[in-house]
Structure 1
Amino acid sequence: MQLNILNEYDPLEAVMVHRPGPEIDRLTHDNMVEYLFEDIPYLRRMQEEHDAFCETMRNQGIEVIYLEHLLGELLNDNPEAKRILIETICRAENVPAIAPDLLNESLIPNDALLQILFTGLTVQEYQKLVGKRIPQTSPNGGVLMGPTPNAYFTRDPAVVVRESVISCKMHYVRRLRETIMTRAIFEHHPKFAGHRITFGGSNSPTEDRPFTIEGGDIIVLNEESVLVGASERTRSETIEVLAQKAFDVGKVRRYYEIPIPTERLFMHLDTVFTIVDYATVVWYPGVMEGISEIMRFESGAPGEVIRKPESRNLHRILSDEFGQEVKIIETAGGDEHYASREQRTDGTNVFAVGPRKVIGYDRNERTIAALNDAGIECLNIQGSELVRGLGGPRCMTMPLRRRHAKSQ
């Protein structure tokens, strides 16, 4: 399929998501913080909310593609890709000895293996499946592979910019498998044949840790410029490496590094800033009004990146890039009390499915009102369970293709 993302607001045509599954039920009071949750969601209600979210997108004519379906097809149709995937995951989880058993279809059919990739695997489950004792001591109290409860946030493991893919490097070890699975799809699934991974491919060891970056920090401003948050999850050093890779391809011309507080509450740039239309943005004033020390990366000689401190503030940068004065909609209409509440429940993390049309959580009533007052239509969804993972509609989507007015 064609990939093409030149901005954040043109009509969305195709998107990748993951429906929350049994991995959510692996969360307990004892492990939820380790897996980056602050509460335990109710899975059935969570799935109902996610299904309604996807149906809202389908009603807009958007093709909704499920990560788990693509992964299942890969396991069934490409034995070599399956081998590479499972061996890579087992090495990352420090249990390489179990890879041969996971690859043995007579022991573990592909549908069961697909579930294991999301729910993880305990020593007891392994022994029941393969009929033998674990070949080595479990490194994590009876858990061979942990679950991936954050997998429904498909924004973070990979990002499409123009016609290419950025394969991200997660900050927290508990999310590394999401990147490995998503990268396998882009590298081996026939749907994406011929597309380039410009950063983070399997053969890019120099881009591994500590070069962490997550998709929630990457915002495609236009066909030439990208904003990247330097945040809790994304390192400044990574942004420079990413810019170099993009410049080598010769497409994007400018990367802007936007520093935000390195706090979990503001874990990604898109928790405090999103674009909802041409020259129209939503931002959380409690963070965005204090942004300073922005860096600009531009291409120099072949293989060279020019790093320049920005003299302009973010408002001016945005206005210059759009070619007109940018319109700023503040979270909760700028009310300090409610802005703090609604930022916490991802009021700023709306997802544009077309010009002046976004999807957001219905609970963020004051932000919705501010958007409506600015002429932005809000397609509201329930998210009382989805939000427990601290993510909104933008977090739950990986845009693959938008319908742009002209070929760039």
Structure 2
Amino acid sequence: MGIKVTSEIKTLKKVLLHKPGSEIENLTPDYLERLLFDDIPFLEVAQQEHDAFAEILRQNGVEVVYLHELAAEVIADEEIKEQFIQQFIKEAGITSPELHKNVYEFLKRFKNNEDLIRKTMAGINKNELPQLGKKSLSDLAEDDYPFVADPMPNLYFTRDPFATIGEGVSLNKMYSVTRNRETLYADYIFKYHKDFKGQVERFYDRDFEYHIEGGDILNLTEKTLAIGISQRTQADAIEHIAKQIFFKSQNKDIETILAFNIPNNRAMMHLDTVFTQIDVDKFTIHPGIQGPLQVFEITKGNVEGELKIEELNAKLEDVLAKYLGVEKVTLIQCGGGDKVIADREQWNDGSNTLCIKPGEVVVYSRNYITNKLLVDNGIKIHVIPSSELSRGRGGPRCMSMPLVREV
């Protein structure tokens, strides 16, 4: 029951996944930018690849749970189901009474709760609704847009909507309005699901002001948390989490938060796209951040509610070695440091691996240069097919949210 994650590498016991569904087939070229995609994956193959990912995890003793199944279990309670439907409609931006009525009646017709949850994820096309009567000005102005509720194609990257920190979570305010609706499912799961209700502390919440995403949060040790200041995570959000952990939390283990200021661009959108821990003393890394990199140490100040923030003037590997308590850290460059290979394999998340136990990771097949380097450095790799999943710009770590790791 509950969650427990204090490491990036200790043996993975339970993980949350989302198998891509019809939301992928609601992507069209005209709306890729709006929905934060660069391409349209072939759903059938993407699902096969995702099944292979889940099966590798199960074969290695990991319990796999799915987002839509947990959410469906929550709305088995009719009162919660009614609340969920109303909140979904509101957050989909449906304001006209006529459209609200049509969408509400459409969703209430679903008898199977898993089908209902899947439909909210897939999006609602106008042609699925009965003929609308009187339309508002906003309805008429968007007549050419096919959806009354946008699809959520990014959902298979379960790392981002929330992040596990010890026995609590950061339920995130996402960078994009498109993705912020994704956090609704986790909100209901942590509030109402029997496995989590009343057991999971929140260090951040989805309605807070500043944006933050789970790909920027790494549990280095039970005492040290790393968070990226990135395209998707603001420094103010990190300060809020720090104050919550140091001054209000029941979790007294975390003593230091390291804030890594990484380049602000799509190829390096999260901290875990530029470096990921894969063993007690090894990381994959994109060579683009091996030059000067701002790292800030955040600790509890002497006055209530005050943070002590200090910029660390040291090499990245020295900072990591110090806080991991090891003599030396090895940084394994994506693509072996070759600019062309590194850029190509970074685009396909060569640095974004999921560690299932120390020195053992899940990787994408297409990053074969980086994969060979991992093996040469003594890392055991589990290779999954990746021609379609990778089109979403996220790797095995992005596609997984650990709920329990061994202590």
Q: TM-score, normalised by structure 2?
A: 0.92
Amino acid at match of 1:297: I
Alpha-carbon RMSD: 1.9
Paired residue for 1:158, among 158, 162, 166? 162
Which SS does the other structure have where 1:85 is aligned?
helix
Deviation readout 1:311-346 (Å, 9 max, x if unpaired): 333222111112221121111222232112111111
Deviation of the 1:393 alpha carbon: 0.4
User: 1:180 and 1:170, CA in 2 relative to 1: closer, same or farther beyond 3 A?
Assistant: same
Question: What is the rounded CA distance, in whole Å, between the counterparts of 2:149 and 2:163 in structure 1?
Answer: 25
Segment of structure 1 superposing worse, 358-367 or 325-334: 325-334
- 1:293: Cα distance to partner? 2.5
Residue 270 in 1 paired to residue 269 in 2? no
- Residues 61 and 94 of structure 1, relative CA distance in 2, 3 Å threshold: same
Distance in 2 between residues matched to 1:106 and 1:29, nearest whole Å? 31
1:192 alignment counterpart:
196
Aligned pair 1:26/2:29, yes or no? no
Residue 168 of structure 1: aligned partner: 172
Question: Is 1:120 paired with 2:123?
Answer: yes
Q: Does structure 2 conserve the Cα–Cα contact (< 8 Å) formed by 1:158 and 1:183?
A: no
Identity, in percent, stands at 35
Q: Distance in 1 between matches of 2:322 and 2:100?
A: 52
Which of the numbers 148, 152, 169 marks the counterpart of 1:144?
148
The CA distance in 2 between the partners of 1:361 and 1:40, in whole Å, is 18
For 1:333, give the aligned amino acid: G
The residue matched to 1:192 in structure 2 has which SS?
coil
Measure how far apart 1:100 and its partner are.
Answer: 6.1
Contact 1:9 1:353 in 2 (8 A): yes
Which residue of structure 1 aligns with residue 373 of structure 2? 370
Q: Does 1:383 align with 2:382?
A: no
Separation (CA, whole Å) in 2 of partners of 1:382 and 1:108: 34
Q: Write the distance in 2 (CA, Å) between the matches of 1:339 and 1:352.
A: 21
Cα shift at 1:111: 4.3
- Distance between the aligned counterparts of 1:291 and 1:35, measured in 2? 33
3-state SS in 1 of match to 2:222: coil
Distance, in Å, in 1 between the alignment partners of 2:204 and 2:101 is 26
Q: Which amino acid aligns with 2:244?
A: K
Residues 281 and 134 of structure 1: CA distance in aligned 2, closer, same or farther (over 3 Å): farther
Q: Which runs of 5+ in 1 are unaligned?
A: none
Q: Distance in 2 between matches of 1:303 and 1:114?
A: 40
Q: Counterparts of 1:270-289 in structure 2 under 5 Å?
A: 270-286=272-288, 288-289=289-290
Distance 2:5 2:38 in 1: 33
Question: What's the counterpart of residue 297 of structure 1?
Answer: 298
Q: Which residue is equivalent to 2:238?
A: 239
Question: Which residue is 1:5 aligned to?
Answer: 5
Asked if the contact 1:87/1:99 (under 8 Å) is kept, the reply is: no
Cα distance change on mapping 1:330 and 1:101 into 2, 3 Å: same
C-alpha spacing 1:123/1:133, structure 2 compared with 1 (3 Å): farther
- Matched with 1:352 is 355
Report the Cα distance in structure 1 between the residues aligned to 2:135 and 2:242, rounded to whole angstroms.
44
Asked if the contact 1:17/1:398 (under 8 Å) is kept, the reply is yes
Aligned residues of 2:2 and 2:200 also touching (Cα < 8 A): no
Q: Flag structure 2 segments of 5+ consecutive residues without an equivalent.
A: none
How far apart in 1 are the matches of 2:14 and 2:133?
Answer: 45
Mean CA deviation greater in 304-313 or 12-21: 304-313
Q: Which of residues 182, 194, 213 in structure 2 aligns to 1:178?
A: 182
Question: Residue 335 and residue 92 in structure 1: after superposition, are their counterparts in 2 closer, same or farther (change >3 A)?
Answer: same
| Cα distance in 2, alignment partners of residues 253 and 133 from structure 1 | 59
Q: Secondary structure of the residue that 2:181 maps to in structure 1?
A: helix
Deviation sequence 1:179-213 (CA, Å, 0-9, x none): 111221112111112223323336xx5x23xx000
Q: 1:326 aligned to 2:329?
A: yes
How many aligned positions are there? Answer: 394
Q: Distance in 2 between matches of 1:329 and 1:290?
A: 15
- Counterpart residue number, 1:201: 205
For residues 127-173 of structure 1, the C-alpha deviation after alignment (integer angstroms, 9 at most, x for no partner) is 26xxx547744374342210000000000001111111110111011
